[in-house]
Structure 1
């Protein structure tokens, strides 16, 4: 391994819980994208449905937490804020560009990076607001979803050739992923990062919020409100899943140092491989497009539809991601995004200001 590769390897000081949450999100997405290969029996289909619904909001939540942690460090160091805002904004635009490129591969995956990038772009310009203002903004945006009846009534036909319509689709009407559903969850993550996402009280509050959202989802269904993807009830369900999973992962990580030897070893054994995969989540996301394209290009007799290609796809994706993160370090897509967004330059400016 080269010296450059070793220097890019995940640092032992990384946040295990945050990486694990990101890893769970990308693993959930890989599993969900394997479903078209086979018809799952009803109990398994219901579980996979929950896994699929978890992935994108958990990604948005983790992105928000990461932004909040960076903002907190910049504020504490009294460093200039504009370089960080610029770096996050460029990074967000790069996510959109990567999403558009992946969409050209033309497979069955609905690409999440365009609305996720737009969400992060908005988040870059509010990441230094006071926490109380971010909270108000998150609540208002969440309630405004009650008025959004576009998902399901308009086609998912976003095209760069029509920028205004492209924005309309990814902000309001896309039935898979849209800014109106992801931005409030991102802002929740931003709040958690700013106030300290690892604190026991914060984790308990996050869990309580997730349980409350789950109750609201049940009530909404009972009242006969639309459960179509992208509507308020569906997004409330996504909020419940992401908040509960994030809180439980955080609690498990926080409990590990205080637990007995066996329990501590069990927690770390379960979380570390997922956390390792989480460090290269963006590269793994791109990899699955390439693998699916390669697998479906071959004759049906080579790899017939069924559970076997699904297992091959899932295991191959996760194994490649884990080996890359363990042996090389930073994922190739992450490396390019960090380079083009000027992450190292911003870090040096922050260190100079702190010095």
Structure 2
């Protein structure tokens, strides 16, 4: 007697599927963008560049996570039986959650996003059968309803002592801690699930729609650009033409008379803690990174979709030139976790002094490492481990076959 999976039940593995180079390129850009935010400041790379990368690189990664979920569960046609695939995804989510807690425990200045990704994967499990049309509709509804529901719930809660927290091991040591952990993950953290679900759903819709279609890159660029204009442009209109900015300036002037205009200008050029304040309600008209408003979700989500489209176009124009970026994008977990560990070690070194060598090294070394590892060893080490965990979980519950 041996334990096997039927062909319909066996989840496809990344090695058995032809890779879409454009997706790897986009994923590589997302990882490099997050590294750049973690190792530089606005003064070093320019205020606009830092503002453009903050939040949006991680959103691109979340969209691509949704794409990957659908690509590895049948692409445009999900298999009839998804039990094994769901067990595999759930096991990987648990591993990501634990890894996220471990990386946070190291004390890195970089806020770790893996716990949010893990919960998003679990949320996706019952949605894997949905068509791209239903996934797109769900993403659209969540993009509006998620931020509004978050705002409504938080309006009735006491303001947190710390804004933009990350999940930590010590939150699991008491009932109150677990409640706080749930609030951080779902509502109040830097990457609150309630306002990040639309990004995953959008990626899943794109994956189900199909990335091997003719002119898919151009379509995604057009769609993403339209959403970016609607989100970011809509925020500008609401703030400047419908009194949103005046209301916020008046509110800020109450605490610092005469400084409201300057304070608001600074805040609109800065990254938020994950969600906006609930008083006054006009904070919901902003679209700054990590603000969690409808305008930010739509606008930044649109930017992510457009970048994916551009990456698909670039892959068709200069695939060899972009090989290092695609190699990095094929092992994002290894590079992401690795850069956090190394960053902690560097910053704890007594001989550390900041120079441009830090961000340059953190951007160049991963490209070289990924290129060489991919060429000679294949799958990244953490990707390999996660694949083993998922494959083991997929075999659980499989029916025995007579040998």
TM-score by structure 1 length?
0.82
After the TM superposition, which residues 83-94 of structure 1 pair with which residues of structure 2 at under 5 Å, given as runs? 83-94=84-95
Residue 218 of structure 1 is matched in structure 2 by 233
After the TM superposition, which residues 181-196 of structure 1 pair with which residues of structure 2 at under 5 Å, given as runs? 181-196=195-210
Residue 112 of structure 1 is matched in structure 2 by 113
Distance 1:273 1:93 in 2: 30
Shift of 1:305: 1.6
Shift of 1:16: 0.8
| C-alpha RMSD over aligned residues | 2.9
Taking a change above 3 Å as real, the CA distance of residues 86 and 100 of structure 1, as seen in their structure-2 partners, is same
After the TM superposition, which residues 1-355 of structure 1 pair with which residues of structure 2 at under 5 Å, given as runs? 13-35=18-40, 39-40=43-44, 44-72=46-74, 75=77, 78=80, 80-144=81-145, 145-149=147-151, 150=154, 154=160, 155-157=163-165, 158=167, 159-161=171-173, 162-174=177-189, 176-200=190-214, 202-216=216-230, 217-224=232-239, 225-228=285-288, 229-232=290-293, 233-253=295-315, 256=316, 264=317, 267-299=318-350, 302-342=351-391
Identify unmatched segments of 5+ residues in structure 2.
1-12, 240-284
Higher helix share: 1
Distance 1:121 1:142 in 2: 19
Shift of 1:26: 0.9
Q: Deviations over 1:117-136 (max 9, x none)?
A: 11111112211123333222
Conservation of the 8 A alpha-carbon contact between 2:327 and 2:367: no
Taking a change above 3 Å as real, the CA distance of residues 183 and 314 of structure 1, as seen in their structure-2 partners, is same
Shift of 1:344: 9.2
Residue 3 of structure 1 is matched in structure 2 by none
Conservation of the 8 A alpha-carbon contact between 1:192 and 1:202: no
Taking a change above 3 Å as real, the CA distance of residues 31 and 270 of structure 1, as seen in their structure-2 partners, is farther
Shift of 1:87: 0.8
Question: What's the secondary structure of 1:72's corresponding residue?
Answer: coil
Conservation of the 8 A alpha-carbon contact between 2:35 and 2:339: yes
Q: Deviations over 1:46-95 (max 9, x none)?
A: 112212333211111111111112333595654x2111111112111211
Conservation of the 8 A alpha-carbon contact between 1:74 and 1:81: no
Larger Rg: 2
Taking a change above 3 Å as real, the CA distance of residues 12 and 116 of structure 1, as seen in their structure-2 partners, is closer
Shift of 1:104: 0.5
Question: What's the secondary structure of 2:286's corresponding residue?
Answer: coil
Conservation of the 8 A alpha-carbon contact between 2:324 and 2:371: yes
Identify unmatched segments of 5+ residues in structure 1.
1-7, 257-263
Distance 2:74 2:385 in 1: 25
